[in-house]
Amino acid sequence: MPSLTQKDLRFLESFRELLEFGGGLFNNQSFQLPQQESFYKRNFLLLTFGAIHNYAETVYILCKNMRPQAAIVLLRSIFEAYLNMHYLMNVRSNKRLALYVVKDVREHIKIVNSFLSLIKRHPRLENKYGMTTKATLDAMKKKHEDIEASMRSLNKIPITLGLKSLEERAREYDRRIGSKARKGEMEFNYHLLYRQFSSCAHLTPTGLQEFIKDTPEGREFILDQSEKIEPVVTTTFQLYLNLLKYLDKWKLISKDISFKKFNRILKEMNRSLEKRDLSI
């Protein structure tokens, strides 16, 4: 029966300490950000931290219970938010952030249009949940269209301009970073953490294979997957630690803090990971 090794338990405990450290910096605090040019970006950073912290806590719980495949689904979302954060913050203007909002409301408009088409074809479904009445859907559609129009007008965004794909965002970020040693890293992680892990998120045939193995006795279901915990914990630890450093860079952490302890732990985690034969 698979079980957690002493190293797994030690790394999990370090992960828990990091989450407790990060959560303690913002727990039960109210923020009154000055209304300046960076207000929207700083607010976006805090929202991103709240979401990533929540997901990272759940990754910890799943890995502690030897469910790394389920944790990978959340790690994939954490990376997407992390990539978006860097891409949207890496320019002086708020135009990218506005396009991010526009993309979101456009998706909601598509959903509303799908519901409108559905209830036209199947009228009995119109009042199934209250929110799917034609009047409610029309109101939702108008609200989102008004938001889009406002964002485009305030930020001088032409109707033909939209947000780049996630892969293009990764490439654009890599092009703009100053360090040659880090060029291409965001796109590499996009392919590894987002595209490769999509099989777990969408349970494709490849993803389904993760839950079975062939033995001399026959095919078995794999419920406990302790051997795959270390890469998930290490990667989530690193993304979360980098996020805290980024918040500190933007002066959103009011306390004087040191990351030395967690930097040292991350080095140990990465050294351990380098020794593993990782199949993806």
Instruction: Give the residue-averaged pLDDT of 154-178.
Output: 91
pLDDT score of 276: 62
Among 15-29, 186-200, 264-278, top mean pLDDT goes to 186-200
Among 23-27, 58-62, 134-138, top mean pLDDT goes to 58-62
Q: Is residue 3's pLDDT more than 80?
A: yes
pLDDT score of 31: 56
Residue 214's DSSP bridge partners are 219
Q: Is residue 121's pLDDT more than 90?
A: yes
Instruction: Give the residue-averaged pLDDT of 238-250.
Output: 95
Give the Cβ contact number of residue 136 at 10 Å. 16
- Give the end-to-end CA distance of the chain in Å, rounded to a whole number: 23
pLDDT score of 35: 55
pLDDT score of 92: 87
Q: Is residue 215's pLDDT more than 90?
A: no
Q: Is residue 267's pLDDT more than 60?
A: yes
Closest CA to 16 of 59, 74, 60: 60
Q: Are 103 and 157 in contact (CB under 8 A)?
A: no
